Amino acid sequence: MPDVQALVNDFISKLKKRKIEGSHATAKQAAELLRSVISQQRVPYTNQAGALIDAVKAVGEQLVAANPVELAVGNIVRRVLHIIREEDLSLTTASMAGLNLSAVSDDEDDTQKDDHSVLSAAVVAAAARSTLRPPSLQTLLEDLPNSSAIPHTSSSGGDSEAKSKSADKSSTTRKLKHDVIEAVNEVIQDIATCHEQIAEQAVEHIHQNEVILTLGSSRTVLEFLCAAKDKKRSFRVYVAEGAPRYQGHLLAKELATRGLQTTLITDSAIFAMISRVNMVIVGAHAVMANGGVIAAVGMNMLALAAQRHAVPFVVLAGSHKLCPLYPHSPEVLLNELRSPSELLDFGEFSDCMDFGSGNGSPLLHVVNPTFDYVPPKLVSLFITDTGGHNPSYMYRLIADYYSADDLVLQRKPAPGN
C-alpha cells in the first residue's frame, strides 16, 4: 500500500501547479485521498473520532492552502469531518441503547433497574446535546457523578470482563473506521454520478421548441442538454464563447456532434440575443451558503441580461460544489488572475508593456480574472443531484452536509503554544 504522506504530497503538488483543475476532478481525488488517510490512520481506544478528525484536518489544511480557489477541496474535507462526527454519534447512541436493554433484561430489583435506566437516559441525553462534537462512550461514562452506583462483578470474573471490554473497544474502533470509509465511498460515488443524476431531471425543465442559452463549457450542462434531446425534446442552444479561454467553442462542437441545433455567439452579443431565449442554463464552480454562485467570468453579465428580460436563470451544480462558507468569509478566495497572454500577444504589445514610465511601472496593465460572482437574487433555480431548489433554500440544504465546528479548518493550537 502506498505511503499516505507521499500521496498527500503528490496531490498538493498537482494542486499548486494547476495540473488538476475543476470542481469535479479535485473533489473526487480529494475524497479518495482522505479515504486512504482514514484507512491507514491508527486510532487509540479512546476518542477514536477525535483522532480521525485531527488527521483529516491536518491533511485538509494543506490541501486547501495548496489552491484556495478550488473550493470543492475544502467542501470534501468538511464533508468527511461531518461524516466522522455523525458516525461516531450513531455508534455512541447505539451503544447506549444496548446498555439500556441489557440493564432492563438483568434479573435485578426495581431500584437497580431504575438506576440503570437513569444511567442510560443520562448518557444518551449527553450525546444528543453534543451532536456537533460527540464525546466517546468512555468519556460519557466517566463524567457521570453516580457511576459508582453501577454494580461491580466479582473478582473471579474480573479478568474475563477486562478482556471482553478490550475486545469491545477494538471492535468499536474497527466499526467506526469501517462506517466512515463506507460513507466516504458513497460520497465518491455521488461525485462520479452527479452528472447523470442531474441530467435525469432535464426533461422536467426543457420543453419542445425552446431556445436555451449557456456560457462557456460545463460537462454538467452538456449531459443535461443531451439527456433532454434523448427524450425526444427538440430545442436550440445558443452558446456564448466564454472569452478569453473560449471554452464555449468546445461545448458548441460537442453539442453539434451529438446532434443538437447549436449556435455559437460572442459574449458581447448576449444582450442582443437574450430576448429570443426561453431559459438560461449554466454550470457553477461553487455555490455559496447564501445562494450566490461562483462561475466562469462573464456569468454575472449573463445573469443581469436574463433578469432584465425576465428569462429564468438556472444553475446546475453537484452536491460537492455546495460550500458552507459565505462570499465575505476570510477563508474564501473568490477569484484569481490568469496570465495576460490569454488576452494579448506579448510580442505585439511589448512596447506598451515595457517599464517605460519614469516611476518604473508598465504603461499597460492587463487584468484577466477567472471567475464571476452571481448574487442569489439573480438566480431562479438550482438543480442539484438531489433535485431542484430555490436560492433561499440552499442554506438549509448545505447545512445537512456540514458541521458548524468544521467551517474553519485551521486546527486550534495546543495549550501553552
pLDDT averaged over every residue in the chain: 84
pLDDT > 90? residue 80: yes
Segment 125-159, tens digit of pLDDT: 444 444 444 444 444 454 555 444 444 444 555 55
Three-class SS state of 252: helix
pLDDT > 70? residue 410: yes
Q: How far is CA 43 from CA 18, 47, 171, 397, in A?
A: 34, 8, 12, 32
Say which residues have a Cβ less than 8 Å from residue 236's Cβ, sequence separation at least 6.
210, 211, 212, 260, 261, 262, 263
- Residue 176: which of 41, 49, 79 has the closest Cα? 49
C-alpha span between 187 and 208 (Å, rounded): 35
Q: Residue 414: its pLDDT value, please?
A: 55
Say which residues have a Cβ less than 8 Å from residue 286's Cβ, sequence separation at least 6.
23, 71, 72, 75, 293, 294, 317, 321, 322, 323
C-alpha cell at position 158: 474480573
Least reliable range by pLDDT among 245-259, 346-360, 400-414: 346-360
- Inter-residue contact 97 to 124 (CB < 8 Å): yes
C-alpha cell at position 146: 453516580
Higher pLDDT, 142 or 413: 413
Average pLDDT over residues 275-283: 97
pLDDT band per the 50, 70, 90 thresholds, residue 416: low
Instruction: Give the 3-state secondary structure percentages of the chain, helix then strand then coil, rounded to 5.
Output: 55, 10, 35
Average pLDDT over residues 269-289: 97
Q: Residue 165: its pLDDT value, please?
A: 52
Average pLDDT over residues 356-363: 61
Least reliable range by pLDDT among 44-48, 114-118, 179-183, 293-297: 114-118
Taken in order of first residue, the domains within the chain and their CATH numbers are 193-401 (3.40.50.10470)
C-alpha span between 293 and 289 (Å, rounded): 9
Residue at 349: amino acid letter = F
Q: State phi, psi for 286 to the nearest 5 degrees.
A: -160, 150
* pTM of this structure: 0.81
Q: Residue 129: its pLDDT value, please?
A: 43
